Each structure stands twice: as structure tokens, then as C-alpha cells.
Amino acid sequence: MLSLCCTSGSSSLLASFHAAMLIRRTETGLWASSQAVKPSCPHPALTSLSVHLRQRLASRQQRVCQHQRFNTRPVGSKLQVAASAPGGQNTPGAATNASSSQVNKKNYSAASAASVSNTTGTGVFILLLLNLIIFVLDHTLHLPQIQRLYLDHLAPRWWQFLTSSFCHASWAHLSSNTFLLYVFGKIVEEEEGIWGVWFTYIITAVGASVASYLLQPKATISLGASGAVFGLFAVSVLVKLSFNLKKLIECGILGQFVIKQLLQETVSLKGGGTVIAGHHVGHIAHLAGALAGVLLVYSLSRLPAVSKH
């Protein structure tokens, strides 16, 4: 019986020991798990290093953003970037400046070309407008003062030698003259400019009127732009004469037409003249206008060249 008691006592002791060890293991496991979950506190040196790296990264990103803004600025911006980097290598900013300058030059050239193109034909337009206005005042509104602009060979006024070249006897007379004025006047204006076509019109018109006054009968009234138009014929051909294949071809095309017109005028003059709708055609004024155009070009070509400086 003792032996059984001892055995039962040992068993109770072992059971108590195992229970104590189990509780110890459980407490140890809980402590370990709590240590694993508990966040570790970093070292102060590591904290300062991390802050320094973040600051450097932010500074680098800022410089990259500024560089991109410099390279993508609008064309023509006044913002200047260094032209070249050390060692003679061009920077992206320099390339952008060069391209901006080229674009500005192209825009200026295009604007200049557009401006020249828009002004070409203005001189001829003004001449056509004057002829049309005077015709309306004369034949539509019937203003008697307009007839004082005709060249009266019996009692000429000094202004009539020019103003008569803006007057016309009928719509057919005006229509033919304005068409030829438009075609050949634009050719002269393209070569000599607005003042060139005006000067040519005035000089040849006056030359034709003077010749008509001197060679026509006294009981004559002269009017019409035909003399000035024939002057433009001659000048349009002569200004194309140059050592240039394109202009030589243009000169040949215009020249054959002008020569044909001059030959017809000469034949008509020798045959006693031409009458259209009861009005005598002024062949002398036509030929004189062409001659005045030739003399004008020759006189201008003899003038000394003006230095560009």
C-alpha cells in the first residue's frame, strides 16, 4: 500500500512539474511574440542619413523639372540660355535658341513676301479707278466740267495734256484701254514698283498728247489712255531685257505682240487713219506714246548708278 502511495505521490509531483513547465513555455512564447510585434526603434544615425538622402533626391527632381521647362519654352521667348557648355559642346538651350532664331527669320521673310505680294498692283488699280470715276462723272452724271479735261487743240490748257489721258469717248473705248492698262501696267509695276508705273503712265501720256497736238489738225479734241497704254507696251518689253532665260522668253512673247500693234498702227496711219463709231483713232498718239516709253527707258539707263552705301 505504501508503495502505491509513493507512486501516486510521484505521479502527482510529475504532473505538477509538467504543468509548471507548460506554463513557463507559454509565457516564453507570448513574450517572444510580443517582442516580434513590437516595432524596433531605429538608430539616430540611420534616421539622419535617410533624411539627407530624401532631401538630395527632392533637389535633383527640382533641377530636372527646371531643365525641362527651359527646353520647352515658347518659340521667340526672350529667355536666354547659355549658348554652349564648357568644351564647346552646344547645350539643348542653345539649339532651341538657334531654331527659334531661324523660325523668326522665316516668319519675317514670309511676312515681307506677303507684304510685297499684297502691294503689287496697287498703282495700276489707282489708275484704273481714276479712269472709271471720270467716265462715270462724264457719261453717267453728265457733269459739264469733265469736258474741260479734254485736250482742245484750238485752246489747250496745260493740265489737259495729262488729264485727257483719263477721259474716254465711249464704253468700248474705255473697256479696251483699261484691259490693256491692267495687263501691261501690272507687268511694269512688278518690275519697277508703284512709282514706276505711275511715272511711265504720266510721261508717255504727256508725250502722246504733245505729239497729237503738234501733228493733228487744230479742229481736234483728243482724249483717251491709248497713248499711255502704248507707252506701257514698250516699257514692259524693255524692262524684261536681261541675261535671264525666263525674262528673255517673257520679252519675246510681249515683244511680238507689241511689234504687231506698232506695225498695224503704222499701216493704218499711212492708209489715212481709222474711224470707229464716228471717232478718228489717234494713230499718231499711239506711236508717240510708244516712242516716249522707249526714250524714257533709254534716259533712265544712262543715269549714273546710285551707290548702295
Q: Annotated active-site positions, please?
A: 226, 286
- Report yes or no: 146 and 167 within 8 Å, Cβ to Cβ: yes
- Report yes or no: 85 and 95 within 8 Å, Cβ to Cβ: no
In terms of Cβ atoms closer than 10 Å to its own Cβ (0-12, 13-18, 19+), residue 248 is middle
- Report yes or no: 231 and 289 within 8 Å, Cβ to Cβ: yes
Angle (CA) 11-17-19 rounded to 5° is: 105
Dihedral of the alpha carbons of 96, 101, 105, 107, in degrees to the nearest 10: 50
- Report yes or no: 287 and 210 within 8 Å, Cβ to Cβ: no
DSSP assignment of 201-244: HHHHHHHHHHHHHHHS-SS-EE--SHHHHHHHHHHHHHTT-SS-
| Strand residue runs (E) in the chain | 151-152, 221-222, 275-276, 279-280
How far, in Å, CA of 193 to CA of 187, rounded? 10
- Report yes or no: 23 and 16 within 8 Å, Cβ to Cβ: no
How far, in Å, CA of 13 to CA of 173, rounded? 147
The owner of cell 482724249 is 223
- Report yes or no: 259 and 199 within 8 Å, Cβ to Cβ: no
List all residues 6 or more positions away from 251 whose beta carbon is below 8 Å from its beta carbon: 237, 240, 241
The owner of cell 472709271 is 132
